[in-house]
Amino acid sequence: MSEIKLMKGNEAIAEAAILAGCDAYFGYPITPQSEVIEYLMVERPEDRTGMIVLQAESEIAAIHMVYGAAGAGKKVMTSSSSPGISLKQEGISYIAAAELPCLIVNVVRGGPGLGTIQPSQADYFQSTKGGGHGDYRLIVLAPASVQEMADFVEDSFKLAFKYRTPVMILSDGVIGQMMEKVIMPEQMPRLTDDEILERYGDWANTGKTKLRERNIITSLNLDSNVQEAHNIKLQAKYSQIEENEVRYEAINCNDAEYIIVAYGSSARVAQKSMAMARAKGIKVGIFRLISLFPFPKKEINALADRVKGFLAVEMSAGQMIEDVRLAVNGKVPAEHYGRYGGVIHSPEEVLASLENKIIGG
Amino acid sequence: MTEEMIIAGFGGQGVLSMGKILAYSGIMQDQEVSWMPSYGPEMRGGTANVTVIVSDERISSPVLTNFDTAIILNQQSMDKFENTVKPGGVLLYDPNGILKHPTRTDIKIYTIDGAKLASEMGNPKIFNMIVLGAFMQVKPIVKLENVIRGLKKSLPERHHKLIPLNEDAITMGMKNVVAK
Q: Is residue A227 part of a domain?
A: no
A269: closest CA of chain B, how far (Å): 4
Indicate if the alpha-carbon torsion angle A206, A207, A211, A212 is positive or negative. Answer: positive
My answer on whether A142 and A26 are in the same domain is: yes
Q: Which domains does chain B have, with CATH numbers?
A: 2-179 (3.40.920.10)
Contact B60 A268 (CB under 8 A): yes
Residues B7/B50, Cβ–Cβ less than 8 Å: yes
Q: Of the residues A157, A183, A209, which one is the last residue of a structural domain? A: A183
CB contact, 8 Å: B155 with chain A? Answer: no
Q: Which of A117, A179, A268 sits opposite B23 (nearest CB)?
A: A179
Domain CATH number, residue A68? 3.40.50.970
On the question of pLDDT at A1 being above 60, the answer is: no
Q: Residue A343 class from Cβ within 10 Å (0-12 exposed, 13-18 middle, 19+ buried)?
A: middle
My answer on whether A252 and A179 are in the same domain is: no
Q: Is residue A203 part of a domain?
A: no
Query: d(Cα A199, Cα B76) in Å, to the nearest integer?
Result: 59
Mean pLDDT of chain B: 94
My answer on whether A156 and A288 are in the same domain is: no
Query: d(Cα A347, Cα A353) in Å, to the nearest integer?
Result: 10
Q: Is residue A230 part of a domain?
A: no
Q: How many domains does chain A have?
A: 2
Domain CATH number, residue A316? 3.40.50.920
Q: Is residue A235 part of a domain?
A: no
Q: Residue B94 class from Cβ within 10 Å (0-12 exposed, 13-18 middle, 19+ buried)?
A: buried
Residues A169/A152, Cβ–Cβ less than 8 Å: yes
My answer on whether A31 and A130 are in the same domain is: yes
Q: Is residue A290 part of a domain?
A: yes
pTM: 0.96
Query: d(Cα A82, Cα A114) in Å, to the nearest integer?
Result: 8
Phi, psi of A34 (to 5 degrees): -60, -25
On the question of pLDDT at A290 being above 90, the answer is: yes
Residues A25/A17, Cβ–Cβ less than 8 Å: yes
Q: Is residue A330 part of a domain?
A: yes
B65: closest chain A residue by CA: A346
Q: Is residue A206 part of a domain?
A: no
Which domain does A304 fall in, by range?
Answer: 248-359
My answer on whether A17 and A152 are in the same domain is: yes
Chain A interface, Cβ < 8 Å to B? 4, 6, 31-32, 117-118, 173-174, 177-181, 265, 268-272, 274-275, 344, 346-348
Q: Of the residues A151, A168, A183, which one is the last residue of a structural domain? A: A183
Contact A177 B39 (CB under 8 A): yes
My answer on whether A261 and A173 are in the same domain is: no
My answer on whether A29 and A169 are in the same domain is: yes
Mean pLDDT of chain A: 96
Interface confidence, given as ipTM, is: 0.94
Residue numbers in A near B65 (CB within 8 A)? 346-348
DSSP letters, A244-306, are: H---EEEES-TT-SEEEEE-HHHHHHHHHHHHHHHHTT--EEEEEESEEES--HHHHHHHTTT
Q: Is residue A193 part of a domain?
A: no
Contact A178 B60 (CB under 8 A): no
Q: Where does the pLDDT of residue A212 fall: very low under 50, low under 70, confident under 90, or very high at 90 and above?
A: confident
pLDDT attached to residue B42: 60
Q: Where does the pLDDT of residue A208 fall: very low under 50, low under 70, confident under 90, or very high at 90 and above?
A: low
What is the number of helices (H) and of strands (E) in chain A? 14, 14
Q: Choose the weakest-confidence range: A88-102, A231-245, B36-50, B146-160.
A: B36-50
Q: Of the residues A163, A183, A203, which one is the last residue of a structural domain? A: A183
